[in-house]
């Protein structure tokens, strides 16, 4: 059924409706769990769902004469089509498919549309899309489309009115200078005039900006339904990153309410739920003709459910199931037909106890089985900074030593960001800042770390998280890029300490490890009153292999802020091509300094064997 018809029907009945957005996960097991989660969230009563579209592409070479390098990120565009098929057919949920112009020649668009029709999908969100991986600027592929309006015209040309077509709307455009704002409104009106049926808006938190934008849209003669995009606040860091990436204005009232609790994500989610719910009520009560809300779930369940409950919108739906409890679709539970009777009336508790790793503060490595494992926004990898901001931050490094010094200065809080860190170094980094800076100057380019913590109180201003009166623990963790020769020296020392485990991976995906366990290694955990031990942050192989693509791509994004053929671009691309990505865990959390010993020994040996470099590091034979 077309979404416009659903909206029309709900309007006639005078009821409030809602819908959910999901994105394709980055691992096969994550996909299985997401389908399981979509089926479970169906009980929350969405009118429809939509699935984002992502396309992998070759990573550009360092030099125009070099061949392109294939991004191993997976064919997520094909996965989008499969998800639409499953949701429409197997799960029976009305689904809207995103479709972009990015890396999409005309024939690929036609295949996607034909498959959508075969799957019974009647709704498409037509977007231009973000720049492809490895590119700073958006560009059309040969035989592709240049603007979203071209895609709208093409869909109508092939399928007339078979599909409902949606486009994106941006309330933040109200803050642009008048000429730019009016031009953007003209672009939106032009698309609508080509046969658009409704508008999804970008996320926002300032309700007055949204209301002003809706009134401006109506004043421009656009009468089709507007569906506001609502983003639940899941965690403090996630909230800051999402608003920063999308350049969303945050009302000061939100900051005043949330920032005092930034180390307690449970409290942030509780307060954020009330703030966003209040925003939703104002939208629904503003006499705008809007009675629907579209939730950007980020593939998570709890935040969206809490928001619906706060709004008193969660329906009570009776379902018929083949077993007394809902059967899971995940690979390890597909054949499950027995559960302990003790949880007969607590099915949600049972599932949460056994598979709900991602509903607490997420670290860099979430469980790869989680459907929420992937990019923050589901739309690919990008730098937060503009080219001008990046050049001001990082200058134009000419040698490896220049690059290493940038990393060291970041650890010492003399630099506010790196391509791998949008925010300044965290407060807990201060405990190990000196050691991290020394590591970088020895040739280990650190992109993530945490110190060992042995039973800090949950309200500790530096290390605390979670409910009151609890205690938190951490294993020391380091993640970094390093050249092959220095890596071998490091491993020779790590192997002498039975408490240290590591994963090493190159850009091609070849993995090396000394761990003998296939399961996750919990590196952060908390003990709280009346709760089981919570393990929100883990390290394990599948997650690391999935993260590797993003880590190397961020380096390429950095390289491409510099002109083609420039020494800085070549230097950074060479580092990315020639380095290994490594993570190391010291499993004795009672010994905070032990993790650094092998690094300093290996670094000193390397420096002694390369005196002509004056402690600069040699990358695969090239002195930098």
To which residue do tokens 């509903």 refer? Answer: 359
Where do we find the tokens 């200058």? 395
45, containing H or E segment? none
Q: Is 21 among the residues known to form the active site?
A: yes
What does the alpha-carbon distance between residue 256 and residue 245 come to, in Å, rounded to a whole number? 21
Residues whose CB is less than 8 angstroms from the CB of residue 156 and which lie 6 or more positions away in sequence, other chains included: 165, 194, 195
Task: Given the residues 8, 13, 21, 266, select the one marked as catalytic.
Answer: 21
Helix 567-578 with 541-559: angle, nearest 10 deg: 170
The tokens for 344 are 């007969």
DSSP 8-state code for residue 464: -
Backbone torsion region of residue 252, taken as left when φ is above 0, otherwise alpha when ψ lies between -120 and 50, otherwise beta: alpha
The answer to whether the beta carbons of residues 466 and 440 sit under 8 Å apart is: no
Q: How far apart are CA 86 and CA 352, in angstroms?
A: 24
Q: Is 469 exposed, middle or buried, given 0-12, 13-18 or 19+ CB atoms closer than 10 A?
A: exposed
Classify residue 621 as exposed, middle or buried by CB count within 10 Å of its CB (0-12, 13-18, 19+). exposed
CA angle 234, 235, 241 (to 5 degrees): 105
537: its two tokens: 């942050």
Strand-pairing partners, residue 105, are 144
The tally of CA atoms less than 13 A away on the side-chain side of residue 497 is 21
| DSSP-assigned letter for residue 443 | T
The pair of three-digit structure tokens given for residue 16, joined into one six-digit string: 């409030």
Residues in the chain: 624
Candidates 437, 510, 479; CA nearest to 583 is 479
Q: Which residues contact 48 (CB under 8 A, 6 or more apart)?
A: 3, 6, 19, 93, 94, 95, 96, 123
Considering only CA atoms, which of 507, 501, 532, 534 is closest in space to residue 519?
A: 501
SS3 305: helix
How many other β-carbons are positioned within 10 Å of the β-carbon of residue 614? 8
Answer positive or negative: Cα dihedral of 558, 564, 566, 571.
positive
Active-site annotation, residues: 21
């Amino acid at each position: 059924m077309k979404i416009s018809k659903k909206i029309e029907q709900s309007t006639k009945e005078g009821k409030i409706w809602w819908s959910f957005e999901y994105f394709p996960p980055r691992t096969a097991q994550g996909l299985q769990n997401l389908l399981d989660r979509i089926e479970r969230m169906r009980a929350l009563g969405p009118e429809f769902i939509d699935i984002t579209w992502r396309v992998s592409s070759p990573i550009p070479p360092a030099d125009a004469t070099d061949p392109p390098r294939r991004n191993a990120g997976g064919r997520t565009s094909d996965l989008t089509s499969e998800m639409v098929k499953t949701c429409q057919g197997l799960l029976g949920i009305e689904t809207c498919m995103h479709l972009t112009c990015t890396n999409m020649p005309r024939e690929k668009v036609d295949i996607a549309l034909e498959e959508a029709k075969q799957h019974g999908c009647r709704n498409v969100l037509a977007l231009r899309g973000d720049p492809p991986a490895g590119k700073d600027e958006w560009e059309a592929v040969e035989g592709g489309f240049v603007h979203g309006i071209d895609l709208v015209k093409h869909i109508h040309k092939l399928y007339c009115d078979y599909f409902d077509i949606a486009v994106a709307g941006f309330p933040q455009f109200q803050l642009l200078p008048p000429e730019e704002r009016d031009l953007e409104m003209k672009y939106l009106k032009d698309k609508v005039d080509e046969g658009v049926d409704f508008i999804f808006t970008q996320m926002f938190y300032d309700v007055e900006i949204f209301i002003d934008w809706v009134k401006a849209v109506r004043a421009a003669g656009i009468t089709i339904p507007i569906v506001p995009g609502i983003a639940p606040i899941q965690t403090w860091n996630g909230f800051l990153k999402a608003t920063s990436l999308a350049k969303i204005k945050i009302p000061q009232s939100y900051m005043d309410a949330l920032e005092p609790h930034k180390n307690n994500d449970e409290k942030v989610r509780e307060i954020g739920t009330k703030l966003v719910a209040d925003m939703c009520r104002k939208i629904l009560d503003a006499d705008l003709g809007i009675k629907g809300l579209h939730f950007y779930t980020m593939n998570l369940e709890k935040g969206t459910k809490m928001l619906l409950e706060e709004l008193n919108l969660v329906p009570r739906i009776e379902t018929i199931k083949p077993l007394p409890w809902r059967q899971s679709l995940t690979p390890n539970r597909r054949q499950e037909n027995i559960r302990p009777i003790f949880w007969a009336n607590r099915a949600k508790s049972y599932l949460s106890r056994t598979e709900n790793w991602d509903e607490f503060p997420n670290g860099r490595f979430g469980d790869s089985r989680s459907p929420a494992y992937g990019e923050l926004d589901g739309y690919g990898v990008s730098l937060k900074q503009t080219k001008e901001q990046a050049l001001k931050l990082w200058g134009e490094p000419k040698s490896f030593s220049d690059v290493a010094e940038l990393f060291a200065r970041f650890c010492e809080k003399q630099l506010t960001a790196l391509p791998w860190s949008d925010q300044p170094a965290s407060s807990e980094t201060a405990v190990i800042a000196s050691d991290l800076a020394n590591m970088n100057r020895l040739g280990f380019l650190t992109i993530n770390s945490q110190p060992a913590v042995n039973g800090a109180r949950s309200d500790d201003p530096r290390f605390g998280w979670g409910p009151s009166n609890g205690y938190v623990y951490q294993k020391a963790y380091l993640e970094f890029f390093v050249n092959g020769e220095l890596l071998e020296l490091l491993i020779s020392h790590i192997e002498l300490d039975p408490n240290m485990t590591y994963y090493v991976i190159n850009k091609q995906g070849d993995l090396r490890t000394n761990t003998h366990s296939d399961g996750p290694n919990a590196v952060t955990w908390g003990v709280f009153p009346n709760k089981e031990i919570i393990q929100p942050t883990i390290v394990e192989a599948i997650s690391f292999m999935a993260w590797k693509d993003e880590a190397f791509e961020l380096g390429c994004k950095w390289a491409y802020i510099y002109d083609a053929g420039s020494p800085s671009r070549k230097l950074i691309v060479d580092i990315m091509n020639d380095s290994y990505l490594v993570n190391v865990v010291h499993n004795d959390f009672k010994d905070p300094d032990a993790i650094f010993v092998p690094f300093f020994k290996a670094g000193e040996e390397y420096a002694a064997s390369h005196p002509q470099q004056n402690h600069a590091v040699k990358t695969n034979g090239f002195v930098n």
